[in-house]
Amino acid sequence: MMGIEWLKPGIFVGSALFALLGVAVFWLCFVLIDKLTPYHLWAEIIEKKNVALAIVVGSMCIAIGLIVAAAVHG
């Protein structure tokens, strides 16, 4: 039984920092991939309604999220 061990300040702050680090790495990877593609991903998906690209980008986001989560978890 874990109880309220996760409420200890050190554990809570560590979890928050790892979460912020994970979000920052995810955002950095998305921006990098957006720069590497020959078009602007956001404009292509939102303005031109490119569903196929949205599916690919969504899958890529899930993959990056899994990699970041595995790296942070250890």
Domain count, the chain: 1
Contact 26, 68 (CB under 8 A): yes
| pLDDT at residue number 18 | 82
| pLDDT at residue number 6 | 63
Q: By residue range, what is the domain housing residue 46?
A: 36-74
* C-alpha distances in Å from residue 65, one per residue of 2, 42, 52: 26, 18, 20
pLDDT along the chain (74 residues), means of 10: 70 82 86 86 90 91 86 72
pTM of the shown model:
0.68
Centroid of chain to Cα 62: 7
**Is residue 59 domain-resident?**
yes
Distance CA 73, CA 14 (A): 12
Tokens representing 12 are 């809570």
Centroid of chain to Cα 18: 12
